[in-house]
Structure 1
Amino acid sequence: MSETLLERCAFLAASAAGNPTHYVVEQALTQAELDWRFLSFEVDDAHLEKALEGLDVLGFRGVLVAPEFRTAAVEYLEVLTPRAAAAGSVDCLVREQGKLVGDNTFGAALADALGGTDKVAEKSVMVIGCGSIARAIAAGACDAGATAVHLADSDEGQLAELVEQLTEATSQNISPVSINDNTVRTPAGVSIVVFAPDGDDQESRPVIDTSAAEQKLTVVDTRLRGSRTGLLKFANQQGATIIDGVQLFASETALALERWTGMAFDRAPLQELAEEFLGL
């Protein structure tokens, strides 16, 4: 890229309306005194490949990918980081050696939001969900050194397929947990429970029986919402440590910005910006 041109980054989504990404990243770059340009593009899924190719050809420094494109984008990228390959999805692209490389910072955001990999290492984690978000979180937990990762879903066929994919990708033993009569029971010793639904499953949540879980329980809701969810209200009643979707978003965004710039970004201001945008 010519030294006379500004660095450019982008957000790629089917619809950017109501999403805090553009506002938060633009403000973060300004606060970091980086004279970069951040652009948002709304793209039809049929044109995703061309959009990614165009951003690469035009020399964009980095790209954030909205959830609806994260799995599909994998097949259009020549290079993936190991954690993106394990997650089977990309949320962050970064230019390395002249090419946009696919990365996944969402899985790593779990440990980041909790305060570091040592907060996940040697822990037992249960992830409720069977889509791309659940896979990214489970892969991130494995990468952070979790001793056991359990996946729970009511679709036993899809659950078995995802368990097989993750076991192969991470070389760890992933355990399936059934959901019966809309109730899921945490296996003994679980200390982190993550609710990670995709798409149409956003509104439905099973009853979570935590009687066998560790006393010091952490409950994570990956949904980016403008108000506290019923799950987090339940977690608060249980005296659990709570991580919400806004905190995960702040960590995910900070990790992407750090990949692009090589600078450190404080998570708290990013969370405040997201809360401001969402009206919290």
Structure 2
Amino acid sequence: MDKVVATAAEAVADVRDGSTLAVGGFGLSGVPAVLIEAVRARGVRALGVVSNNCGAMGTGLARLLADGAIARVTGSYIGGNKEFARQYLDGEIELELIPQGTLAERLRAGGAGIPAFYTPAGVGTLVAEGGLPWRYDGHGGVAVASPAKEVREFDGVPHVLERAIRTDFALVRAARGDRHGNLVFAKSARNFNPPAAMAGRITVAEVEELVEPGDIDPDHVQLPGIFVQRVVALTPGQAADKSVEKRTVRNEAKQYEAKDTAKDAAKRKAER
């Protein structure tokens, strides 16, 4: 039952060329960066990645992308990742873009043993009708396009059939985990980590705090250990290494100046 592996390198030692990976995270939140670096160190190529996005600001999956190690991405967001956009438009990488909720459910369904499901998301668009560019030919043309999907009505509402996703491996990050693989995620870092973990045939979790079995209240477990095969305990430095994608700060001086101006205006109005 003890699923703890000594190092991240050991935990991903059987990831090979052509392996498929479901990877948790959203932007820079909840990204299993240590495990991704361990995969990168292996020098494997032609990876198939399933993740909401493909890294940002040169971190996470963006590191594998820059190495040319990823052949195909299934996700819902390109965002500000210019290298991802360039590789896609230049025909260097295949991309299956799908609605974000559909992606989460396809991953969850894979872990739940549900082969496919119907959803109204995407009906009446290229998602259902086919023709979305999966791969460009490098000259502005489409080399591979998405196929049409089955559409069926339920209670008069059309729904499109979506297939579940299963991958060879899943890489996730959790705030706490015990030696049996039970995991707890912190706030927004929960994002795609649970469904990604469910979809992997071999799921590896890097945890910021490793605790003993029984230390996590069963009612607080957010992902049962049955879905996790390997656990890697992060060092304090690795656990604290978290970037902010878009930092927004408030200018206190301008805020108070605006309040004072509004008060002055109200005073003058009252005097009149």
Q: Shared topology, TM-score over 0.5?
A: no
Higher fraction of strand:
2
Q: TM-score range by the shorter chain?
A: 0.3 to 0.5
TM-score under structure 1 normalisation?
0.34
